[in-house]
Structure 1
Amino acid sequence: MPNLTKTQSLLLTTGAKRADNIAMPLPKGLHGAAAKKVVTMMCERGWLEEIDANTRKGEPLWRETGDGHGTTLVVTDAGLLAVGIEPVVVKTMAAVRNRAVLASASASASTSSTKKPTPRTNTKQAQIIALLQQPGGASVKEIAAVTGWLPHSIRGLISGGLKKKLGLLVTSEKQDGRGTVYKLDAT
């Protein structure tokens, strides 16, 4: 996890809590040249992205483009990871918030089944899934060597992220010399 300033951390965590990960409005006291410098640097690092603002939805503007439109800032998946938030979790929470808004707006709640989140590619979560799908599975030490994560984080991802959120069947067994080995059926 990169070293972030308080302002960067506040901007990313606050944006992660908002609908569609919109980073606007900026924190109090951050405006003018300082805001431009912080935002430019965060965009260069891939933590923020400038997108067209939907003014009909009331999205706040970062800057006007001159053609009657404007842009807003959105926290990217890299920005979420920079503050230690798994993008899958944020997308799941956004889906929960959207369902709550739709349910309160509509008097007749629909009984459609909810879609389970799917694993993302090119993430540490995907790396761990690949390790668990190997014929011999993987121990916490082996996973830590690949990801650099601490053991409690690995066990938390397996229990909460893989088993509960994604609904994957992860089995574990103790093996001499390896400790607890976790396996995931490749099917």
Structure 2
Amino acid sequence: MTKLTETQTIILSAGAQRPENIALPLPKGLAGAAAKMAVTKMIEHGWLQEVDANLRKREPLWRETGDGHGTTLVVTDAGLLAIGIEPVVVEAVVAIRKDAAETSAPKLPAATQPKLRTGTKQAQIIAMLQRPEGATVAEMVEATAWLAHTVRGSISGALKKRLGLPIAAEKVEGRGTVYRLIVAPT
């Protein structure tokens, strides 16, 4: 068994306690060339492995790869064994923590569909879109007294994104772009 330095022991021990065995951040005071040398030796021994970082989970970066991605460092099974931890034990502890987090997490109510209010300009636009002939932006501007960009923003933002209404746009000769609310066949 290889003798670990104090720095290597600290890095491996800290990584073993983190989710997914991520070895970063490194101990305070370990930076620059010293950090690179320590990590390089640990990778050579097979105690650490450089893997793609999941930026959505905000995993800490070891280095950037230049294409908008980066890598992070993970303690391997060999690294766990080097500090006297059986990898199976770590997997069991992670599973127990995950189960405990799921059972203790408060249950959030299901997302509710926003309520439509009658008599509003938005309701007017929806009614116009439900007509068989649909409506153009100019017709909706006339009915609501909104500006054209406000009507288009309402269609793409409030109606399509927030309310999830299926709205189609079609170019009609002599009329321009006509918007319609797509009604599913029953």
What TM-score, normalized by structure 2, do the two folds share? 0.56
What's the counterpart of residue 56 of structure 1? 56
State the number of aligned residues: 108
Percentage of matched positions with identical amino acids: 67
**Coordinate RMSD, CA, aligned:** 1.3
The answer on 1:44 being equivalent to 2:44 is yes
Q: Could you tell me how far apart the structure 1 residues matched to 2:4 and 2:80 are?
A: 12
* Correspondence list, 1:8-47, <5 A: 8-47=8-47
Residues 19-77 of structure 1 deviation map (CA, whole Å, 9 limit, x = unaligned) = 00000000111110000000011001100000000011111111111000010000000
Residues 78-137 of structure 1 deviation map (CA, whole Å, 9 limit, x = unaligned) = 0000000000001111111222222233438xxxxxxxxxxxxxxxxxxxxxxxxxxxxx
Q: Could you tell me how far apart the structure 2 residues matched to 1:50 and 1:102 are?
A: 29
Structure 2 unaligned regions, length at least 5: 109-186
What's the counterpart of residue 97 of structure 1? 97
The SS at the match of 1:30 is: coil
Q: Which has the larger radius of gyration?
A: 2
Structure 1 unaligned regions, length at least 5: 109-187
What's the counterpart of residue 80 of structure 1? 80
Structure 1 outlier segments of 4+, above 6 Å: none
